[in-house]
Structure 1
Amino acid sequence: MMVLPFPAPPISVLAALDLLHGVHGREGGQAFPPSSVAELERPWEPASCTADLAEAIWSWCDDVVLWLNHEYVWRPAQLIPACWREHPHIARELPVLAVLRWEAEASAAPEQAEEWNRYAFPAFSDRMTDRLGESTCRTGRHQDWPARARYSSSYAT
């Protein structure tokens, strides 16, 4: 096969997305109070989710990373490292990228896929490559954030 299919989200992620799509469709009619939307689990923001849903998102993102590295990465500098969960800048953006791609895959028209290919993925890839810099993570040797010690007392590590 020339191209591999995009990994489907787990059922729990699909259920959360379906609920949000239902809310999004009703927002104009105010059938759902906007303040309640903030209380819903949003798969593109795993911190808003229960531990079980967040783990399903992270597992899906593992599959998405494998897919991205197979389908879109040509140069080693562009690889999403296996230690991506250890990099908050990647872990924050990857669920967004995955949801956007899933929505593009489910679209009845090609515009969302074109936007994902033209804007979402290249912008993610450029930011990731820039932020990782010359780290050894892409070669399989995780390199901790150089400023970790400075911030370890302020933030959970």
Structure 2
Amino acid sequence: MALEPVLRGDEIRGLREGHALVLADNLPPIITRLDGMWTWESWAEIEGHVHDLRAANEVERSRQAIEKKNQPRTHAAAWAGREGAVGMTIPLAHFGPFPEPPALILDYIAKRSAEGSVVDGPAPYDLGALSAELIEPMPAWLDSVCRWLNGRYAWQPQDVIPPCWAKHEGLAYEIAALAFARGDAYAEAGKAVIWHEQYDRFLTRMNKSLGKAGDECRVGRHEDRPSRFQLAAWPGPAEEGTKGPETAERVKEMAG
């Protein structure tokens, strides 16, 4: 921590005649008037003045020592006063629960994980593999998940999941995986800590993926995929069972 002077050199030199800056141990600095000893009536008066100064100094030392000794009690009283001001309200009561997955999805998970189950469908977080019936309730639920995550973890602007998350397929897949993983993670405290570490990594990947476009997306101005021109260079998929001329040429080039 940088130390700041009590007075600058020019300020000290600018003190009125007969005055001085006094620094004594850990006492607050003061500016005092200097009386010449020849102005005092007797040596006894001088001794009495010195005695008074030393007594005042000792009183101040004692006050500071008592204050330091009582500091823990003072802090405890401050916390008690804060609790009294809060009253019957609990400070953490506004921490809303994590959004519950749709009933249809919970039923699907239960059937899929049941012993001897004949349901052999995709994992519920594999969005592109879900049936139309299962995917239907997912956008609304994942949107509520994003709102919940933003409300709890997005303290800095770059931590905000953009409202157009569904237009970023990579984000949608990761958000779905994080949402389902959270339920399993909170079965144990250690796993919950690991989930938070994974969430922090997700934020890093999200910002890397969004790049500069993330600033616009976060304020509701979604930008088209920056790599759309590079992706457009890929030829369209060939018809089933055939190879178009562009695809055949690319295969030839890759084969050397």
> Under a length normalisation based on structure 1, what TM-score does the superposition of the two structures give?
0.79
User: CA separation in 2, counterparts of 1:149 and 1:12?
Assistant: 39
User: CA separation in 1, counterparts of 2:163 and 2:220?
Assistant: 7
Query: Which residue of 1 is the match for residue 228 of structure 2?
Result: 148
Alpha-carbon offset, residue 77 of structure 1: 1.1
8 Å Cα contact 1:43/1:57 also seen in 2 = no
Is the counterpart of residue 79 in structure 1 residue 157 in structure 2?
no
1:110-125 superposed matches below 5 A: 110-118=189-197, 120-125=198-203
1:10-29 superposed matches below 5 A: 10-22=102-114
Query: Which residue of 1 is the match for residue 67 of structure 2?
Result: none
Taking a change above 3 Å as real, the CA distance of residues 60 and 149 of structure 1, as seen in their structure-2 partners, is same
Query: Which residue of 1 is the match for residue 181 of structure 2?
Result: 100
Deviations 1:87-126 (A, max 9, x none): 1110121110110012234x2x3232122112x2111111
Aligned-residue RMSD, C-alpha: 2.1
Alpha-carbon offset, residue 83 of structure 1: 0.3
Query: Which residue of 2 is the match for residue 91 of structure 1?
Result: 172
User: CA separation in 2, counterparts of 1:141 and 1:83?
Assistant: 9
Structure with bigger RCO (C-alpha 8 Å, 6+ apart): 1
8 Å Cα contact 1:8/1:102 also seen in 2 = no
> Which of the two has higher C-alpha Rg?
2
Q: Percent identity?
A: 33
Query: Which residue of 1 is the match for residue 148 of structure 2?
Result: 67
Alpha-carbon offset, residue 150 of structure 1: 4.0
Matched residue SS, 1:144: coil
> Under a length normalisation based on structure 2, what TM-score does the superposition of the two structures give?
0.50
Give unmatched runs, 5+ long, in structure 1: none
